[in-house]
Amino acid sequence: MKAIVLAAGYATRLYPLTLHTPKPLLTIAGQPMLNHVLRALAPLRQIDLVYIVTNDRFAPQFEAWARSQAGRTPFPCTIINDGTTDDANKRGAIGDIHFVLQTQQLQDDLVIVAGDNLFSQPLIGFGEYCLARQAPVLGVYDVGNLEQIRHYNAISTDAEGRITFFEEKPAQPRSTLTGIALYFYPRASLPLIQQYIAEGNNPDQPGRLVQWMYPRVPFYTWRVPGLWFDIGSRESLEQADQLFRQLASDRSQPRPTDTPDSHGT
């Protein structure tokens, strides 16, 4: 199994923070955001290689990150430069997925995650669920607010978790359940990604691929545990930083079993 981390955006909404630093390398709780993304994926022991796809402007910074993290990440990482230089010529998220599939000649099960999606808990069970389904899987999260979901997508599922409805940025959302940028595509489904691009469909926003694919093949969902952050603003960046600092502090606190007993042993 391979993984792709989408990190080729220019994050103009976060200027000036991202003028010279790619969003996934901004610091959250003292570490690059990308480190937290990879840590969340760590339970997926099936992954043997992670491709981090970025653009020509930020590729050197990701290469420097990779050198600094050598031997310290949960998986070996390879940086892929998609050759783009700004928003005007970017490939888009689906275009970048297709670019990696083509240039790396991938023919393996594939996990895809956005480099600016943060999870408060490791994605335990995601890999096993995906392999058991042997069908495309979308990570989902309940935002709990119909107004907020207008900025994302709205989905409905049947009793087995199979998608029955999917709409990007719904004007009249039916539920508060949204699909996030966490995907599994078994190797048998990879030709559909190539077909999507070959037909001239919109190469941006990876949810569009889900919307196109779910009527064609069974497409299932997996509920993300804990809290999820889509880092798109200074506010969300600061909220995530506070949460991850608190989580790190909680982990550093000794548990009752770590302390000596009443006899001092």
Per-residue pLDDT of 244-254, as tens digits, reads 999 887 776 66
Burial of residue 256 (number of CB atoms within 10 Å: 0-12, 13-18, 19+): exposed
- The domain limits of the chain are 2-140+178-254
Please identify, in words, the CATH class of the domain defined by 2-140+178-254. Answer: alpha beta
Tell me the per-residue pLDDT of 64-121, one tens digit each, with 9 for 90 and over.
999 999 889 999 999 999 999 988 899 999 999 999 999 999 999 999 999 999 999 9
What are the φ/ψ torsions at residue 173 (nearest 5 degrees)?
A: -60, 145
Is the confidence at residue 258, as pLDDT, over 70?
A: no
CA-based nearest residue to 23, from 31, 32, 265: 32
Round to whole Å and give the CA distance between 115 and 24: 5
Confirm whether pTM is higher than 0.85: yes
To the nearest whole number, what is the mean pLDDT of the chain? 91
Cα–Cα distances in Å, from 142 out to 95, 147, 173, 223, 225? 27, 12, 13, 8, 10
